[in-house]
Amino acid sequence: MATGQHLNLPESTNHLAYVFYATTHAYAVAVMVFVRMLQRLGMRSDVDLLVLHLPVSGRVLSQMRAMGLTTIEVAPLPHINHAYFKDCLVKLRIFQLTRYERVLFIDADSIPLKNLDYLLRFPFDGPVAAPKAYWLPQPFWTTALLLIRPSDESWNRLSRRIATAAYTNSYDMEIANAEFGSEITTLPLNVFSLNSEWEDRRRPGFFGDFEDSYSKISVVHFTALGKPWFYSPEDVRRLRPDAHPVFYRLWESWRTTREELSA
């Protein structure tokens, strides 16, 4: 199989892992920001931290390892015919991590608001558990956060779709939903949200009260306005003057953590 069956992993006695992926320098830095925040929130000591990556600088890799991340360079998968998403299928390599009983994957352009260890204990029987992509017609699940049981069977199933993705204009989310849609266990609603929930205080959010939802959500994904490294907090306030304060708070928290890492 051109996409490879197994990944070469260092020895580990742990059976659980948090996993991220990085296809550019910006996303590699975002992985470190997320992990630093996750570590501050507390996490189990028997859980591995992995990042699957395409070539990035040795300096960044050294910094990642110093933070406790295991860095695993992987081969790219077929490019998507869209420059922004061209390497998005790399995330699906998490299904190759068959050493682990459970893997919790999170897109690095997100921010954790709570300890996430509870998700590693979440009961599900199928290959995948994920939050609903509540902003899209249902049923449909996001791949920005995935709780999975890696297996050769699941990877083989995905590989057949990956092989034709460039011709069918399928992205990681379309592929995962097409292959596993009837088997996905839905994670609780308060696990995941988009930062667009707080983009305009004049518009009611999907989760109701702005502050109440912020107090309950575990992971927020940056989609509104752009990625957190695109704009300074001052730019965000200028470009989104009607946003709820939570919107600015998320941006400032991400930026502050990044500055600490680069100090």
DSSP 8-state assignment for residue 158: H
**Of 246, 151, 126, 233, residue with least CA distance to 198:** 246
Q: How big is the CA angle at 126 (ends 121 and 129), to the nearest 5 degrees?
A: 55
Q: What pLDDT is recorded for position 8?
A: 73
45 and 174 co-located in one domain: yes
Task: Single out the residue in 160, 186, 212 at which a domain terminates.
Answer: 186
136 and 241 co-located in one domain: no
Q: How does pLDDT run along the chain (263 residues), one tens digit per residue?
A: 334 556 777 778 889 999 999 999 999 999 999 999 999 999 999 999 999 999 999 999 999 999 999 999 999 887 666 656 778 899 999 999 999 999 999 999 999 999 999 999 999 999 999 999 999 999 999 999 999 999 999 999 999 999 887 777 789 999 999 999 999 999 999 999 999 999 999 998 899 999 999 999 999 999 999 999 999 999 999 999 999 999 999 999 999 999 999 86
* Integer angstrom CA distances of residue 217 from 14, 93, 115, 212: 27, 27, 11, 9
157 and 88 co-located in one domain: yes
Q: What pLDDT is recorded for position 263?
A: 67
Residue 10 lies in a domain: no
Residue 25 lies in a domain: yes
Task: Single out the residue in 154, 186, 218 at which a domain terminates.
Answer: 186
Instruction: Name the token pair of 57.
Output: 């600088």
229, with CB counted inside 10 A (0-12, 13-18, 19+), is middle
Q: What pLDDT is recorded for position 262?
A: 86
Residue 3 lies in a domain: no
72 strand-pairing partners:
52
- With H, G, I as helix, E, B as strand and everything else as coil, classify residue 49: strand
Q: What pLDDT is recorded for position 82?
A: 65
Q: What are phi and psi of 114, to 5 degrees?
A: -140, 160
Domain of residue 244: give its range. 190-262
| Domain CATH for 177 | 3.90.550.10
171 and 49 co-located in one domain: yes
- With H, G, I as helix, E, B as strand and everything else as coil, classify residue 192: strand
Residue 5 lies in a domain: no
Q: Report the predicted TM-score, pTM, of the whole model to 2 decimal places.
A: 0.94
Residue 34 lies in a domain: yes
Task: Single out the residue in 166, 186, 206 at which a domain terminates.
Answer: 186
107, with CB counted inside 10 A (0-12, 13-18, 19+), is buried
117, with CB counted inside 10 A (0-12, 13-18, 19+), is middle
167 and 209 co-located in one domain: no
The answer to whether 133 and 140 are in contact (CB under 8 A) is: yes
In the chain, how many domains are there? 2
d(CA 247, CA 236): 9
d(CA 94, CA 17): 10
**Of 56, 60, 70, residue with least CA distance to 7:** 70
Residue 76 lies in a domain: yes
Q: What pLDDT is recorded for position 84?
A: 64
